[in-house]
Amino acid sequence: MKRLSRILIFSLAGLALGFLPAVAQHRDGHRLRDRIQAWERDMEEFRARSDQRRHLRYLADSLAGVQAYAAIQNQDFVLEAESVSFRTGPVVFVNSATNFISIKGNRAVVQIAPNAFPAGPNGLGGVTVEGVISARELRRSRSGKVAFSFNVVGIGINAQVEIYLNADSNRATATVYPNFNSNTVWMTGQVVPYENSRVVEGNSL
């Protein structure tokens, strides 16, 4: 009888030892599944927030593009340049407050001040020229891209200017072709309404 009791005890102990790992494995499986579900919920929330931010950025860019196009139509805008390059030189990142092309009615100002020191003819580290515009031409493609070209003539400047505005954005590039030399200038930046610009205009030639 004692022998039978010992056999039963050992058998029950064996079953218990086999059952405990199964229970632990079952709990671990539940924890892993819960972690995976929590991670999936976090990813869904992250994607939703990212989609919302992208949509808001798109709306902001579209609004800025509409304002930029209207300002160009009204000849009342400033292209605030973030980079400037010349035909024989590299691209130079510049201060948009002192590097720009502005149009106010028939008056155009082209200012290039790549230096950070208050030197140069305009007192801002570069050159400022102004003139009267003529031969204006505004085109808009079916895709929404805008091209605005004009001639500007004044003391120190006699050039053709072409400005290209991206579709659904106020991002733009401009090319200044001087008529008296081959020192072509490229500028890249943002087009903003004249009244919203904070550029600093130096002394004109």
Query: pLDDT by residue (tens digit) across 151-198?
Result: 999 998 999 999 999 998 999 999 999 987 778 999 999 999 999 999
DSSP, res 156: T
Neighbours of 99 (CB within 10 A): 26
Q: What is the dihedral of CA 8, 13, 15, 19, to 10 degrees?
A: 160
Q: What is the reported pLDDT for 39?
A: 80
Which H or E run contains 53? helix 2-73
Whether the CB-CB separation of 152 and 174 falls below 8 Å is answered with: no
Going by pLDDT thresholds of 50, 70 and 90, the confidence category of residue 27 is low
User: With 70 as the cut, is the pLDDT of residue 22 above it?
Assistant: no
Q: What is the reported pLDDT for 37?
A: 79
Whether the CB-CB separation of 159 and 172 falls below 8 Å is answered with: no
The per-residue pLDDT for range 140-151, each reduced to its tens digit, is 999 989 999 999
Whether the CB-CB separation of 63 and 168 falls below 8 Å is answered with: no
Nearest CA to 73 out of 189, 153, 193, 161 is that of 193
Domains and their CATH numbers in the chain: 1-205 (2.40.128.410)
Rg (CA), the chain: 34
**Residues paired with residue 149 on neighbouring β-strands, in sequence order:** 137, 162
* CA of residue 202 relative to chain centroid, distance: 27
Cα–Cα dist 98/117, whole Å:
11
For the question of whether the overall pTM of this predicted structure is more than 0.95, the answer is: no
Structure-token match 């030399």, residue found: 181
The per-residue pLDDT for range 52-68, each reduced to its tens digit, is 666 556 555 678 999 99
Q: Backbone phi, then psi, for 4, in 5-degree steps?
A: -65, -40
User: What is the three-class DSSP state of 3?
Assistant: helix
**Residues paired with residue 70 on neighbouring β-strands, in sequence order:** none
Alpha carbon distances (Å) from 199 to 50, 77, 117, 195, 204: 34, 11, 16, 10, 14
Whether the CB-CB separation of 150 and 138 falls below 8 Å is answered with: no
